[in-house]
Amino acid sequence: MQVEHSIVVDAPAERIFRLYEDVANWHTWDPDTKSASIDGPFAVGTRGSLTPPKGRTVPMLLTRVERDACFTVESRIPLFRMVFEHELVPQGGAVKVIHRVTFSGALTFLLGRMLVKQLNHGLPVTLANLKRRAEGTA
């Protein structure tokens, strides 16, 4: 099961990626994040945690990091896996920002539908906030 949303941002990929690297401040542009932290550099293999506004803190692991291009975070709880992909695709002088979430595991049938609805509402808001931040209009 997968959810994907995108937005075009008039800012360099480097500026957007700096916002991604600042994990402690994700909550300032992502309303689905109450707090987040990582235990080391913004690099493959670094672990951390994310707390949503409602619900329990979940562990996260950076599984892919390509500076100024993309990063992927994976969160696992028993019988359920969430993969959060973030891509920056140059488009002329702008950047297409793509956020994609994929669910897998035995609990997907139970948790997936609820989370798809939440993400289809929340991801456009998150992307609009990220756009305002990156373009300096926040």
Per-residue pLDDT tens digits of the chain, which is 138 residues long: 888 999 999 999 999 999 999 999 999 999 989 999 999 999 999 999 999 888 889 999 999 999 999 999 999 888 888 899 999 999 988 999 999 988 887 776 767 677 777 777 888 999 999 999 999 975
Q: Which two tokens stand for residue 36?
A: 């987040």
With contact defined as beta carbons under 8 Å apart, do 66 and 77 qualify?
Answer: no
User: CB within 8 A of 100, min separation 6: which ones?
Assistant: 2, 3, 4, 84, 85, 86, 87
Q: Give the residue ranges of DSSP H helices in the chain.
A: 13-21, 113-135
pTM exceeds cut of 0.85: yes
pLDDT at residue 117 in the model: 78
What are 91-125's pLDDT values in tens digits?
988 999 999 988 887 776 767 677 777 777 888 99
The dotted CATH code for 2-135 is 3.30.530.20
In whole angstroms, what is the distance from residue 132 CA to residue 3 CA? 22
Report in angstroms the alpha-carbon separations of 83 from 91, 106, 136: 25, 15, 29
In whole angstroms, what is the distance from residue 83 CA to residue 4 CA? 12
Reduced to 3 states, what is the DSSP secondary structure of residue 62? strand
With contact defined as beta carbons under 8 Å apart, do 5 and 127 qualify?
Answer: yes
